[in-house]
Amino acid sequence: MGARLVRALPFLVTAAAVLIPLPGMLAMGATAMEEGNVLVVADLLLDGRWPNGDFEYLYPPGNVWVVGAAFWSLGPSVLVERLVGLAYRVVLLWGLYRMARPWGRGTATAAALTTWVLVAPFGLFAYSWLCGLALLVAGTALVLDGGARRSSAVGAGLLGLAVFHQVVLAPAVLLVLATEAWHTTRARRRRLATGLVSGLSPFLLHLVLVGPVALFEGVVVDPVFRLRSGRRLPLPPDPSESADMFARLDDMLRGPDPWPGLSRPAQVAAVFWLLLLVAVGMVLLPRLWRIPHRRRFTTLALVGIAIVPMVMQRPSPNHLKFVGGYVFAIATVALAVAFGRRLPLSRRHLAAPLSLLAVVGLLFAVAPHHLGRFTVDAFTERAATWSTPSVTHAGRTLPVGDEAFAAELDALLAEVDARTEPGDSVFVGPVDLTRTNYSETFLYFLLPDLVPASRHLEMNPGLANRPGGTLAGELANADLLILTDRFDGWSEPNTSVEPGAPEPARVAADRFCEVWSSPFHVLLVPCGERSS
């Protein structure tokens, strides 16, 4: 009985860590543009409309296909989407545990918990990056453990699927497969190649569905060339001022911290430098510390280096957590090995818990607000939250987190119902259409009987407002505009502050008239229909 309990202890500890914040994660507001986009794009997929082709989407469609399949099976809802997000996180934790298992169950559990501490505050949003990272980690674990077995091919297939969710993970995937192919037999190389081709094969189907031009433009041209200058933040981060818009907004809303430490902008800068230092240091450690399973650890460390460019693109608090969740997990493994060598034999079981405490403690000390406070809230205050103010419309319920905002949305949706018929087209965007920095994509999800008037579901700088774009022509044929000024104060040190094409704003001013307004929203219809 005692031996069974010891074997089950890692699972029980991890399960408890996942379950404690789960109620609050399920109840979080779903008004972020990114989550709303997943909801509406997966919903449109059920109607036969394809991402990258029929509407703009900045990633390969893997995540949309998964959420869309869940919607087809269980019905479109925020709960279903978040259960998919929970599944992503479970796969991620399992993959981390499996990767670190050769260094002991305790060490593997500590590595998985390190990641969970960083990603739990983000909630359960089915984010494409987290799914891609989960597939990368799980696939790497199976490839490293597979040997000549079929699990190697399965792992390579998962690595291919990781790229189908996030193209930026391709260097990490190639690194894992190249290092394994270099040290193995020809038969195993064939297994790895077969698995990789199988994992990448959905690209061929998507290529047929949307065409090569739309796929290349949606996955490469739009995110890498058109969008990048409007989302890029300064490198290295400025320790005196937060560049990320939402970090500054959080600073204003949350007020002062009860914990001492660096200023909030300085915390972001410190975590950035710590992440780079640890990522590079993990590659050097195997020889310096003579870590057992040296080649395996080196591969895992190199994967960390390969995903660091995600942070270099935009060193915001969230991006630091997404990448740090993996890099600091590998650091936990290294520390557990070091502690295990220095502790007496009777106390070596303490090496893993000590490594977890050391890594998490260091992160909390460096960033008591962005890492410490967010995590503590997720496991304490937010964990006790089972419900939140929500909006229900057309059989769909969306948590919004604020009663006054929920009441305003109820009034807005009632007015939309009074002025539209099923099949009418609606556009959701900002009042200032020359600066398309953010939007309330969740409104499309709450209006399933209406058709999005534009292929730009999200409002992104350099895309929706680019000169020569399609937005002006799409607005000329729209039946209804829902505009908000909630994001008119958007300000980041990049091209998002610069006005784009004036044509969409001109069409809105010339063709549409205001028929309803509230503190944050205005409703416009073609001027000839305003008395309807």
Interaxial angle between packed helices 128-146 and 186-200, expressed in degrees from 0 to 180 and rounded to the nearest 10: 160
Residues contacting 26, CB < 8 A, separation 6+ = 79, 82, 124
Indicate the SS3 state at residue 512: strand
Separation of first and last alpha carbons in the chain: 74
Tokens of 366: 């460096």
Residues contacting 113, CB < 8 A, separation 6+ = 13, 14, 17, 356
What is the DSSP code string of 142-169? HHHHHTTSTHHHHHHHHHHHHHHH-GGG
Which one-letter amino acid corresponds to residue 411?
A
Indicate the SS3 state at residue 516: strand
Going residue by residue through the chain (532 aa), what tens digit of pLDDT does each one get?
A: 466 767 778 888 899 999 999 999 999 999 999 999 999 999 999 999 999 999 999 999 999 999 999 999 999 999 999 999 999 999 999 999 999 999 999 999 999 999 999 999 999 999 999 999 999 999 999 999 977 678 899 999 999 999 999 999 999 999 999 998 887 788 888 999 999 999 999 999 999 999 999 999 999 999 999 999 999 999 999 999 999 998 888 777 677 777 788 899 999 999 999 999 999 999 988 777 778 888 999 999 999 999 999 999 899 999 999 999 999 999 999 999 999 888 888 888 889 999 999 999 999 999 999 998 889 888 987 766 777 899 999 999 999 988 999 999 999 999 999 999 999 999 999 999 999 999 999 999 999 999 999 999 999 999 999 999 999 999 999 999 999 999 988 999 999 999 999 999 999 999 999 999 999 999 999 998 655 5
Tokens of 242: 């937060």
Which one-letter amino acid corresponds to residue 199?
G
Closest alpha carbon to 324 in 173, 117, 157? 117
List the beta bridge partners of residue 512. 526
Distance between CA atoms of residues 262 and 281, nearest Å: 24
Indicate the SS3 state at residue 483: strand
CB distance 233 to 269 below 8 Å: no
Q: 521-526 and 480-484 as β-strands: parallel, antiparallel, unpaired?
A: antiparallel
Predicted pLDDT at 2: 64
Tokens of 123: 């909630």
> Any idea what DSSP says for residue 242?
-
Distance between CA atoms of residues 418 and 257, nearest Å: 46
CB distance 152 to 176 below 8 Å: no
Indicate the SS3 state at residue 422: coil
Distance between CA atoms of residues 73 and 67, nearest Å: 10
Interaxial angle between packed helices 317-342 and 105-119, expressed in degrees from 0 to 180 and rounded to the nearest 10: 160
Distance between CA atoms of residues 363 and 393, nearest Å: 42
Sign, Cα dihedral of 447, 449, 453, 455:
positive
Residues contacting 389, CB < 8 A, separation 6+ = 399, 400, 401, 402, 403, 405, 406
List the beta bridge partners of residue 55. 51
Domain ranges for the chain, please list them.
390-529
List the beta bridge partners of residue 51. 55
